[in-house]
């Protein structure tokens, strides 16, 4: 099915692209993407925190990371243990929440642009193949990196430090290295998100279409198929790009001036070779399925509600 045509989609459909008002389409993408992104962050942030702790060498593994977070919560003198535990697992959650809407807005805009680029010789009414869809996904990562890189830079600093707020972390980063230091790790972010987005969008469409063919339903959206396809897409992406994510996290957590090559060499030499690029893979995979299932479900349901109630049409 590598190059079969895409059809029967809600989120990534090509239908009426040329006739719909582009401003309204962008607004709908912004809202739907924001809903999906918030669902992803709320569902997956605790797993992401554990992953980052493992990647940055602050925990030996998943169990150790959880133990450390629980100990930090118990040491808090204000609030109940339950409240501090929840806060502990959602440490650094503000940057991704604040970045969700612009990241997804730019991502969908970039994706639409990518679809126009790859279909420029085929005509607007010809469905995109999976390879074209993957190429459009890769293109979407280019503008998105401008928003993702600084957001994740602040998030990583918060997750690997002893406290602070989004604003204080951003100020500290700028004070130490200037405004451009907010974009530290941008090349690594693009190196991760380019192939990651290509695989992400294409695998979602292929999986969802396959499931819809095997289990047809009268409903406009099959929640089970959407969630399963979203989970598969997330896990597929992380299995491929995880080593690059480890390099990115190490770069963004460090206060030293380093290149991707030097960080890659240090990880390989100091963390036991190839296995040093996969700390926190377990939490990342555990996070990717529910988080991305929630993402696509949020986006698909939002688009469905727009259509049902004739919003912004």
pLDDT at 124: 52
Q: Per residue in 234-280, pLDDT tens?
A: 999 999 999 999 999 999 888 787 889 999 999 999 999 999 999 88
Compute the distance between CA of residue 17 and CA of residue 19 in angstroms, rounded to an integer.
Answer: 6
CA atoms within a 13 Å half-sphere pointing along the CA-CB vector of 142: 10
Angstrom CA distances, 219 to 222, 301, 304, stand at: 6, 12, 11
Compute the distance between CA of residue 142 and CA of residue 283 in angstroms, rounded to an integer.
Answer: 27
Q: What angle do CA 226, 5, 198 make, to 5 degrees?
A: 65
Length of the chain as a residue count: 313
Q: In the chain, which residue ranges form alpha helices assigned H by DSSP?
A: 22-55, 62-75, 81-89, 94-118, 130-159, 166-177, 186-214, 223-253, 260-270, 281-308
Q: What mean pLDDT, rounded, does the chain reach?
A: 85
Nearest-Å Rg of the Cα atoms of the chain is 20
Confidence of residue 2 (pLDDT cuts 50, 70, 90): very low
pLDDT at 292: 92
pLDDT at 121: 57
Confidence of residue 36 (pLDDT cuts 50, 70, 90): confident
Compute the distance between CA of residue 211 and CA of residue 224 in angstroms, rounded to an integer.
Answer: 9
79: number of Cβ within 10 Å:
12
Confidence of residue 120 (pLDDT cuts 50, 70, 90): low
Question: Exposed, middle or buried: residue 75 (CB in 10 Å: 0-12, 13-18, 19+)?
Answer: exposed
Residue environment code for 88-106, b if the CB has 16+ CB neighbours within 10 A, otherwise e: bbbbbbbbbbebbbbbbbb
CB of 136 closer than 8 Å to CB of 128? yes
Residue 174 has pLDDT above 60, yes or no: yes
Question: Exposed, middle or buried: residue 177 (CB in 10 Å: 0-12, 13-18, 19+)?
Answer: middle
Residue 8 has pLDDT above 80, yes or no: no
Window from 164-173, 221-230, 242-251 with minimum mean pLDDT: 164-173
């Amino acid at each position: 099915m590598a190059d079969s045509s895409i059809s029967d989609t809600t989120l990534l459909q090509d239908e009426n692209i040329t006739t719909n008002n582009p401003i309204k389409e962008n607004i709908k993408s912004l809202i739907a993407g924001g809903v999906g992104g918030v669902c992803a962050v709320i569902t997956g942030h605790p797993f992401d925190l554990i992953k980052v702790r493992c990647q940055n060498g602050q925990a030996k593994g998943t169990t150790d990371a959880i133990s450390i977070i629980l100990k930090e919560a118990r040491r808090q003198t204000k609030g109940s243990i339950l409240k501090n535990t929840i806060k502990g697992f959602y440490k650094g959650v503000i940057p991704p929440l604040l970045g969700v809407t612009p990241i997804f807005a730019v991502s969908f805009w970039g994706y639409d642009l990518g679809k126009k680029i790859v279909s420029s010789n085929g005509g607007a009414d010809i469905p995109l193949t999976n390879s074209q869809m993957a190429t459009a996904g890769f293109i979407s990562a280019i503008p998105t990196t401008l928003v993702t890189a600084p957001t994740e830079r602040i998030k990583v600093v918060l997750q690997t430090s002893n406290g602070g707020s989004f604003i204080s972390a951003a100020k500290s980063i700028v004070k130490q290295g200037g405004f451009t230091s907010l974009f530290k790790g941008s090349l690594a972010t693009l190196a991760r998100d380019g192939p990651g987005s290509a695989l992400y969008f294409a695998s979602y469409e292929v999986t969802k279409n396959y499931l819809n063919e095997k289990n047809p339903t009268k409903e406009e959206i099959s929640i089970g198929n959407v969630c399963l396809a979203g989970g598969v897409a997330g896990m597929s992406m992380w299995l491929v790009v995880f080593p690059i994510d480890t390099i990115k996290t190490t770069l963004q957590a460090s206060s030293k001036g380093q290149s991707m090559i030097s960080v890659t060499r240090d990880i390989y030499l100091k963390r036991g070779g190839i296995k040093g690029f996969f700390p926190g893979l377990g939490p990342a995979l555990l996070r990717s399925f529910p988080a991305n299932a929630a993402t696509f479900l949020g986006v698909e349901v939002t688009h469905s509600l727009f259509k049902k109630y004739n919003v912004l049409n």
